[in-house]
Amino acid sequence: MNRTPLLIGGIALALIILFAMSCFYTINQTEQAVLLQFDAPREIVTEPGLHVKIPWVQRVEYIDKRLLNLDAPPEEVIAQDKKRMVVDAFARWRIVDPLRFYQTLINTDVAQTRLAPILSSDVRQVLGSQNFAVVLSAARAQLMRDIRDRMNRESESFGIAIVDVRIRHADLPPQNSAAIYSRMIQERKGEANEF
């Protein structure tokens, strides 16, 4: 028995299956894709499902459609009335133009790196233009909208939209808190001595 034709047939079948598998790609409901031909954008695909591409000529870059989170490290901000506060803020953002996003930022890691300083800068500028009492009042919601709007203006060329900005904490620095606590103790001791 000659097994050579059977072996050649098996190899040919495996190559045909491999070729057929490289012709298709799938997009999940949480994704969109940029179809690249020789690394140049050819098409934006937003519909989930099975799609066809030319193997070895075209490749697919997947881009997230979901809301993404941007955390800024807590930093010290000086309010207009010269009071210091430590602000911990975060933003939620979404990719609205996948082609522009791919051309300017390529992926979400680069986007996080570029957006973090913008968030920090806008938090410092908006909160620094207000008194400490305003930051802690009901006007805080408007301040967060102002930060969001400033970020949207600065990042519109990236193909993203800032959906929301929130301030987790706006506290006094630890040394200020300790000084206030010790002053409160001294006042209570003074009241106790009067009695």
* Per-position pLDDT tens, the chain of length 195: 577 888 888 898 898 888 888 899 999 999 999 999 998 999 999 999 999 999 889 999 999 999 999 998 898 888 888 888 889 999 999 999 999 999 999 899 999 999 999 999 999 999 999 888 888 888 889 999 999 999 999 999 999 999 999 998 887 776 665 666 677 788 888 888 887
Residues 6+ apart with CB under 8 A from 140: 134, 167, 170
> Tokens 């193997």 belong to which residue?
55
Give the global pTM. 0.78
- Provide the pLDDT for residue 122: 95
CB-side neighbour CA atoms (13 Å) of 63: 27
By the 8 A CB rule, do 48 and 24 touch? no
- Provide the pLDDT for residue 9: 86
- Provide the pLDDT for residue 178: 62
**Phi, psi at 54, each rounded to 5°:** -85, 120
Structure tokens at 79: 């309010």
Beta bridge partners of 14: none
- Provide the pLDDT for residue 72: 86
User: What sections of 56-131 are H helices per DSSP?
Assistant: 98-104, 108-128
